[in-house]
Amino acid sequence: MTQDELKQAVAKAAFDYVESKLEDDMILGVGTGSTANFFIEELGKISDRLEGTVASSEETARRLKSHNIPVFDLNSAGQIAIYVDGADESNAHLQLIKGGGAALTREKILAAASKEFVCIADASKMVGVLGEFPLPVEIIPMARSYVGREIVKLGGDPVYREGCVTDNGNHILDVYNLDILDPRQLERDLNQITGVVTNGLFAQRGADILLLGTADGVETRRAEPLS
Ligand code: 5RP
């Protein structure tokens, strides 16, 4: 199976999961990226049965609306029942790296505001130790050099993502060469740097369920407990 076919398979599995739990007044959170886009296509089939969604990016909002799916502002939506989104990496504890599509801040807000976070990914995203994928950090533009120097002190090699402006009007540093042995601690340390909006580690609030697309089918994984 190609990577896109695996992404399609997990998107369909997430759709089946959401449909099985669908209730009146239920608000869904919808993520950003190619895997989330396949999920949006599935969701379009039941647009008339959906109370509404909250989108993690302007691009996702546009796609949802093109399928006649109502999109609400989070402030008027209240708690989200289920948030479905992809990831750039996951470990066995379902701690994630996200932000390859530069939507990490809104994605993190939706994950925090949701009862349940269902992550959808193809098997290539599963890793032993997070950090092979460069960790995205959203920063206030004027703080770029300062934040970069502070990240070097933490052992990372930050690279400015040229030409990228987030939906919040900010910039992204992609941090290479991090061996992320304690994702929760690094998530906190990075967020302590003045000028950082947030970083792409989803460790304090990781996923509740991972639907992983493999050559043998879609596996449902739950977080292995932290020792
Ligand atoms: C966007 C993200 C995406 O979930 C992540 O980049 C995975 O993308 P894809 O589904 O295209 O592989 O975090 O900010």
- Any ligand 1 atom below 6 A from CB of 213: no
- Any ligand 1 atom below 6 A from CB of 131: no
Please give the number of the atom of ligand 1 that sits closest to the Cα of 34. 11
pLDDT of residue 78: 85
Question: Which of 42, 107, 138, 150 is the catalytic position?
Answer: 107
- Any ligand 1 atom below 6 A from CB of 150: no
Please give the number of the atom of ligand 1 that sits closest to the Cα of 122. 12
Helix (H, G, I), strand (E, B) or coil at 47: helix
- Any ligand 1 atom below 6 A from CB of 86: yes
pLDDT of residue 62: 98
Please give the number of the atom of ligand 1 that sits closest to the Cα of 32. 1
pLDDT of residue 12: 98
pLDDT of residue 151: 98
Instruction: Identify the residue whose C-alpha is closest to ligand 1 atom 7.
Output: 87
Dist CA 81 CA 109 (whole Å): 14
As a three-state string, the secondary structure of 70-128 is: CECCHHHHCCEEEEEECCCEECCCCCEECCCCCCHHHHHHHHHCEEEEEEEEEHHHECC
Q: Please choose from 98, 107, 138, 198 the residue to mutate so as to test ligand 1's pocket, defined by most ligand atoms within 8 A of CB.
A: 98
107 is catalytic: yes
What is the CA 186 to chain-centroid distance, rounded? 17
pLDDT of residue 227: 79
pLDDT of residue 179: 80
Q: Which of 87, 142, 80 is nearest to 114 (CA)?
A: 80
pLDDT of residue 72: 98
Which residues of the chain fall short of a pLDDT of 70? Answer: none
Helix (H, G, I), strand (E, B) or coil at 201: strand
